[in-house]
Amino acid sequence: MATRPNINLSAGDDNDVYALLNAQSGQPTVTVGEALRIQNKGSTNVYIHEGSEVFEVNGGTTLPTDWQIDTSDSPTGVIATCINDGVINVEVI
């Protein structure tokens, strides 16, 4: 799939990755459950949570700067959190 624009994450918020992808103008719609490859493009750790809710902002899978992770084949949701504002890039796989 074509490269999508980076996504800015708000510190301390539950950033719904699917909603943020679908808010990108001119990009194809992404359905919840499609597998994603997420890369941390910012300078702060990002925490990736598979599911529809988050219990702590620095829980989930830690994604240090420049690292990437693939979600499961059919996640029920993906939420990204961070302590400071962050940036991720997401590819639908």
Does any domain span residue 2?
A: no
Residue range 1-10: mean pLDDT, rounded: 87
Does any domain span residue 17?
A: yes
Lowest mean pLDDT among 25-29, 59-63, 73-77, 81-85: 59-63
| Main-chain dihedrals φ then ψ at residue 33, nearest 5 degrees | 110, -15
Does any domain span residue 44?
A: yes
The total domain count for the chain is 1
10-39 per-position pLDDT tens digit: 999 999 999 999 999 999 999 999 999 999
Does the pLDDT of residue 1 top 60, yes or no? no
Does the pLDDT of residue 40 top 60, yes or no? yes
The neighbour count for residue 73, using CB atoms within 10 Å, is 9
Does any domain span residue 81?
A: yes
Range of the domain at 36: 7-92
pLDDT at 2: 59
pTM here is: 0.93
